[in-house]
Amino acid sequence: MNLMMLLEMAAGAYGDRVAFQNGEDTLSYQQLFDAAGVLAKSLDDDRTEHLAMLDETSLALPIAVFAASWAGIPFAPLNYRLTDPELDSLIAQLQPGRLLTDPARAARLGKKITSADGDHFVSVDSLPPLLSALREENASQRDPTWSMEPEEIAILLFTSGTTGTPKAAVLRQKHLVSYVLGTVEFMSAAEEDASLNCVPPYHIAGVAAIASAVYSGRRVIQMPNFSADSWLETARKQRVTHAFVVPTMLARIIEALDGKAGADLPSLRALSYGGGKMPRAVVERAMQLFPDCDFTNAYGLTETSSTISLLGPQDHRDAMASEDEVIRRRIVSVGQPLPTIEISIRDMDDGRELPAGEAGLIFVRGEQVSGEYRGQGSHLDEDGWFNTRDGGSLDEAGYLYLEGRMDDVIVRGGENMSPGEVEDVLLTHEAVSDVAVVGVPDEQWGEGVAAVVVLAPETTISAGELQQWVKDRLRSSRTPERIDFWDELPYNETGKLLRRKVREAIRESG
């Protein structure tokens, strides 16, 4: 198994179709195959063992993904928002390797980064010139064969680090190929289909989208820098039919459409979202603005090769139309597991499987589930189950509800509580526009509950009033002992709340 197999099929069946487009520049499936072959040969000649990329999304990205698989080495997309010292520690894990980056960074890093012992190195390539070289006609390509060993590593993805030091999740060829074969029908896209991709390349959704798009035969329009206005403009101009957004992006798109009755994007048929908690109000408003659009909520993790459960278009419509609160509430669920995936909810303390309606840890099993970190080995248990460390519950019909990261669970006097539970109550107060609840060290209880609140514009309220608000609606043990007011909360670029930063700031302020 190898991702290259999927590209070979695509180039054979619809080689002239446009595969990726960036601005006016395009790569057909055959051109993508050829350019990947040129880069693969160069990787082979270098005997490099890693291919890293540190740049915004460009046409070089899919070329690099497939070239690395062709050459049989891992591809590691790096987060260009990290600081130089943070990047140094990641690059040190990718030696010997090639690093493809932007000209400014290439000049700063020099041609080679050599370690102190001089044995290991990373060579640095500046991207636009390399991209031109890869696309030259008659450039020599690697042999059109590649390893079909399912255990070879395809992708190393450094996890977002919302909880601590980044570690590299290992995705092997078998995981990604299984994900694609299990979720995408070959050549299912119509010739005119186009999807707009604005997820950064170092995010699992960005990587998975490349493999899925190639197998479905869809044209992918790359958008390196998201803004709501340019998203709307590009979607209109390119007659985009499919798009994936993270919750903050959808919220901004809705703001940009403020006061308009509809989005005026007649070609857009499918809008999927994931990568963070979607506020109910945002998705409901989006469904009004895009009435003809199919909405899909996808839940997945880096360690599971992207999506493991889906709330599909019909579920969205049923939830919106229903009078029954059980069905209405499904709009905030992440739907049902993929047919190729099993999900089990387990008790946090004794690991026993919990019945429907009870919240615990989400365990997942399936061919696409890696659960492996470099240097640590597999985190799958002996039966192949992976502990996502996400909390959740299933309803009677098998819909999955997320309850936040278990690493964020607050244990107060032996009682477990999810920050989301307290946050949801605080958010129902009209003075509260955003909130984060975290555990803080407490001498008496082990952990205490602290909340950081962002007030709605032109409102004031005391901590005492908000504490009373929670106390009236939840048990007193869930009432924050401390409430701070901030101007804004820290989020990462894909809209995930950085609770670690909230915790640190509270601890430092004493």
Partner 1 sequence: MAIFKAGMRLRSAVCSSELMLILAPGHDVTLTCGGAPVIELAEDPPAGVSIDSEQQQGTFMGKRYTNEAGDLEVLCTKPGEGGLAVDGAKLAVKGAKPLPSSD
Residues linked to residue 353 through DSSP beta bridges, in sequence order: 346
Q: Which two tokens stand for residue 488?
A: 């804004």
Q: What is the largest CA-CA distance in the chain?
A: 73
Give the contact letters, 213-242, x = binds to partner 1 (CB under 8 A), - = no: --xx-------------------------x
Is residue 268 a contact partner of residue 290, using CB atoms and an 8 Å limit?
yes
In the complex, minimum distance from the CB of residue 316 to partner 1, in angstroms, rounded to a whole number: 10
In the complex, minimum distance from the CB of residue 75 to partner 1, in angstroms, rounded to a whole number: 17
Q: Give, to the nearest 10 degrees, the angle between helix 3-14 and helix 60-71.
A: 120
Region of 128-136, 305-313, 346-354, 392-400 interacting with partner 1 (CB under 8 A): 305-313
When asked if residue 377 is in the footprint of partner 1 (CB under 8 A), the reply is: no
Residues linked to residue 365 through DSSP beta bridges, in sequence order: 342
When asked if residue 17 is in the footprint of partner 1 (CB under 8 A), the reply is: no
In the complex, minimum distance from the CB of residue 310 to partner 1, in angstroms, rounded to a whole number: 6
In the complex, minimum distance from the CB of residue 5 to partner 1, in angstroms, rounded to a whole number: 6
Contacts 24+ apart (CB under 8 A), 104-113: 105/54
When asked if residue 156 is in the footprint of partner 1 (CB under 8 A), the reply is: no
Using CB under 8 A, pick the residue from 86, 133, 139, 150 that binds partner 1.
150
When asked if residue 183 is in the footprint of partner 1 (CB under 8 A), the reply is: yes
Q: Give, to the nearest 10 degrees, the angle between helix 127-134 and helix 60-71.
A: 70
Region of 3-11, 18-26, 153-161, 254-262 interacting with partner 1 (CB under 8 A): 3-11
Using CB under 8 A, pick the residue from 304, 307, 333, 418 that binds partner 1.
307
When asked if residue 22 is in the footprint of partner 1 (CB under 8 A), the reply is: no
Q: Which residue has the tokens 């857009």?
A: 268
d(CA 101, CA 124): 7
Report angle CA 384, 334, 306 to the nearest 5 degrees: 50
Q: Which two tokens stand for residue 117?
A: 């012992």
In the complex, minimum distance from the CB of residue 244 to partner 1, in angstroms, rounded to a whole number: 5
In the complex, minimum distance from the CB of residue 286 to partner 1, in angstroms, rounded to a whole number: 16
| Contact set for partner 1, span 253-292 (CB under 8 A) | 270, 272, 274
- List of residues 6+ apart from 414 with CB closer than 8 A: 446
Binding residues for partner 1, how many (CB under 8 A)?
Answer: 41
When asked if residue 469 is in the footprint of partner 1 (CB under 8 A), the reply is: no
- CA 270 vs CA 161, 241, 295: distances in Å: 30, 6, 6
When asked if residue 244 is in the footprint of partner 1 (CB under 8 A), the reply is: yes
Using CB under 8 A, pick the residue from 248, 296, 368, 388 that binds partner 1.
296
Using CB under 8 A, pick the residue from 25, 45, 88, 149 that binds partner 1.
149
When asked if residue 342 is in the footprint of partner 1 (CB under 8 A), the reply is: no
Report angle CA 156, 158, 163 to the nearest 5 degrees: 150
| The amino acid at 427 | L
Evaluated on CA atoms 93, 94, 95, 101, the torsion sign reads: negative
When asked if residue 320 is in the footprint of partner 1 (CB under 8 A), the reply is: no
- CA 171 vs CA 39, 368, 428: distances in Å: 21, 9, 40
* Residues at the interface with partner 1 (CB under 8 A): 1-2, 5, 8-9, 12-13, 148-150, 173-174, 181, 183-188, 195, 205, 208-209, 212, 215-216, 242, 244, 270, 272, 274, 294, 296, 298, 306-307, 310, 312-313, 338-339
